[in-house]
């Protein structure tokens, strides 16, 4: 499962940040998932809870929010919002789009205790 390997990465990143900050445990993690990243937010949250067992994040609350997709349209030369891969340009209806944001995953915020 794609989400589980992402979740394991998240745990590793957050745990090493928490260790550097000499935290005893992590209370909350806010994640941003690009709308075009092919990641299911609920599944990712569940996988994070699984992967967090026996780490500093064992009791952490995971919040996953979606960040918008964006693309550059080569037909009308505009930066446009893109809901899904395969959708046309909302400005001109063209399909010559280059995705510029929304495929990434970010750790937005970590709350330690
Ligand atoms: Zn366009």
Q: Report the CATH number at residue 40.
A: 3.30.2320.50
Q: In whole angstroms, how far apart are CA 51 and each of 6, 41, 56, 59?
A: 10, 15, 11, 11
Q: Give the residue ranges of the annotated binding site for Zn(2+).
A: 73, 76, 89, 92
Decide: 6 and 41 in contact? Cβ < 8 Å. no
Average pLDDT in the 68-87 region?
96
What's the CA-to-centroid distance between 91 and ligand 1, angstroms?
Answer: 5
Q: How many domains does the chain have?
A: 1
Q: Is the pLDDT of residue 1 over 80?
A: no
pLDDT digits (tens, 9 = 90+) for 43-69: 999 999 999 999 999 999 999 999 999
Residue with tokens 């330690």: 112
Average pLDDT in the 3-7 region?
95
Average pLDDT in the 11-35 region?
95
Give residue 24's domain range.
2-69+102-112
In a domain, 11, yes or no: yes
In a domain, 7, yes or no: yes
CB neighbourhood size of 49 (10 A):
15
Report the percentage of the chain scoring pLDDT > 70.
99
In a domain, 87, yes or no: no
Tokens standing for 54? 């026996």
What's the CA-to-centroid distance between 95 and ligand 1, angstroms?
Answer: 8
Q: Give the residue ranges of the annotated binding site for Ni(2+).
A: 2
Q: Give the residue ranges of the annotated binding site.
A: 2, 73, 76, 89, 92
In whole angstroms, give the CA distance from residue 57 to residue 53. Answer: 7
């Amino acid at each position: 499962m794609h989400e589980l390997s992402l979740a394991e990465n998240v745990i590793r990143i957050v745990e090493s940040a928490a260790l550097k900050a000499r935290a005893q445990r992590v209370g909350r993690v806010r994640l941003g998932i690009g709308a075009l990243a092919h990641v299911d937010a609920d599944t990712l949250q569940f996988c994070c809870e699984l992967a967090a067992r026996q780490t500093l994040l064992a009791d952490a609350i995971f919040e996953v929010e979606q960040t918008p997709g964006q693309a550059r349209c080569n037909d009308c030369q505009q930066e446009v919002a893109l809901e899904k891969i395969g959708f046309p340009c909302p400005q001109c209806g063209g399909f010559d789009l280059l995705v510029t944001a929304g495929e990434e995953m970010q750790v937005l915020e970590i709350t330690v205790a």
